[in-house]
Structure 1
């Protein structure tokens, strides 16, 4: 009898299937953004315990499965940041840790010229305190929603402020509005994924129908990944703050935002038996109807993965 795929829960099966491998991709707490069929990896930490982020930009051609270090000048040294694409040309990195402090500034890569630029804060901008482990959701080519951040360097406190970041590629400026929501929660790592993925959406709908949902989502989890696929949010891995040992996780959570009077929005939990898939500080990214997993530290929380995977669901 053939062995079952790595992920197994209640009759439903899933796995992260390896599709590419390159030493340049081995990093964690980086950003990973799809732009015109390529994944742009910016910065990150190359090994556990490192305090100085990388300043390089690595480009993975998804059709050719080849990674190259981009010789872009002026690349920012960042980790725990986030990035969004604009206008099919710009890649804007927002905030992050530079090795000594948290920033709220914006650096932009012009992918046509292959050069990084430090954009300036526009008059009237109200920048927040330094950002790290926040999220950036692209609303349009001129607006980005920024949510959550970590607290001081000696605390585990997290803040749930939400504000709008307005970008002007023509003027090379950004403007931070006053926070719209303030609190002490964090949305985790939620990426804006505008790409239509009809096949994956159909698979997710069938997949969750085999599980038992709950209105209670995961608690005490950080540095996980989360990608939005239509009405579904797909969350994977992370670090469990409630575990003194073996804190790195490999669980798959799916949030089904479809609801009606008879069926509220629900979370579905699908554990994984493969300890080799434990990840923290990784990224997931949606492209061409597939969900990709890139980088992150493994089970020991120190060794970065050079592997690229795609999510397979078996109904």
Structure 2
């Protein structure tokens, strides 16, 4: 976002013809959560950890040794108490281990593999999607530093907070080899909707890939309710302003599920050698089959971001962290997405 003279000035600077606006909110310094906004800090304190299953929380709160030894990991919240960080890169190899933050005690623990666990060779820039209070679906590239597979294995990761153990099980389905992608658990259309887990980006393809499908009533997990933002997105995609174009060759972007929509922002494109950091907004509309993409470009270079996260909390989408236009300078700002229609 750069360093605007004031949040309101930045707000006017970033608004574009599509009525999309990432507005920097007032910055505060709050101990370990340095750089969080007042609004976001209040939302965190008022919401259960269960609703904030985001790697960015781990990024804010991980102790130094985990930040150093397990990047880029992914994380998911369990039971309103545990934040489980999975895998990552320790500077020499990819890991598949699980470390968990006990929010009640404020301490990190290294969990152990249960008997019978069949872990991947190692994971980084992968995704972990919560399926239930004790089960995650893990997808992404695995292997050593010199060997990369042409496909990606998909794992179910079962977690037992009481025993402090985890267990990997490899699924029969596979995906393309992806790294730096995102995943979205979306409802399927129809009178008895099920769920499907879709992988976006992380390879050359512009099309999402199914990493799991569950029938009606099998998945109880739902994204936090966001009626206002869902209605705004429905109006945005029906306005005719966006192009029907999916994100080809995108990685290290963000993705949040808002009702029947997957909202992707930013990232690094693989389709060009220069000016690779993006500031585009993509909306995936899963309300009917076939699903549709909507692309909303932005001319403001200050919004270029990669390696960030978006968080849906209290009917508001927050943009947190990541690197700016040069791909190296970290951004300390927290912004909110506002749609003016």
TM-score (norm 1): 0.79
1:186 equivalenced with 2:175 (yes/no): no
Paired residue for 1:80, among 51, 54, 72? 72
The structure that is helix-richer by fraction is 2
* Cα 1:176/1:163, change in 2 over 3 Å: same
Alignment of 1:1-315 (within 5 A): 6-9=14-17, 12-21=18-27, 36=48, 41-43=57-59, 57=61, 75=66, 77-149=69-141, 152-153=144-145, 159-186=151-178, 188-190=181-183, 194-211=223-240, 217-260=246-289, 264-315=290-341
Contact kept, 8 Å, 1:150 with 1:158, in 2: the verdict is no
Residue by residue over 1:114-150, the C-alpha shift from the partner in whole angstroms, topping out at 9 and shown as x without a partner, is 1101111111101012111111111111111111226
Distance 1:179 1:265, change over 3 A: same
Distance 1:151 1:130 in 2: 6
Q: 1:210 to 1:25 in 2, by over 3 A?
A: farther
Distance 1:73 1:278 in 2: 27
SS of the residue aligned with 2:302? helix
Paired residue for 1:47? none
C-alpha root-mean-square deviation of aligned residues, in Å? 3.0
Aligned to 1:164, what secondary structure does the other structure show?
strand
- Helix, strand or coil for the counterpart of 2:240? coil
Q: CA deviation at 1:36?
A: 2.2
- What's the offset of the Cα at 1:78? 2.1
Range 168-177 or range 13-22, more displaced: 13-22
Stretches of structure 1 that go unaligned for 5 or more consecutive residues are 27-33, 44-55, 59-71
1:189, CA displacement in angstroms? 1.6
Q: Any stretches of 5+ residues in structure 2 without a counterpart?
A: 1-8, 36-43, 186-221
- Number of equivalent positions: 279
* In structure 2, distance between residues paired with 1:290 and 1:162: 31
Query: Which fold has the larger relative contact order, with Cα–Cα distance below 8 Å and residues 6 or more apart in sequence?
Result: 1
CA distance in 1, matches of 2:148, 2:302: 27
Change (3 A) 1:289 1:172: same
Give the superposition deviation at 1:162.
1.7
Cα separation, partners in 2 of 1:157 and 1:14, compared to 1, 3 Å:
farther
Write 1 or 2 for the structure with the bigger share of strand.
Answer: 1
Alignment check: 8 A CA contact 1:25 1:307 kept: no
* Partner Cα distance (1:91, 1:282) in 2: 18
CA distance change for structure 1 residues 74 and 304 in 2, over 3 Å: closer, same or farther? Answer: closer
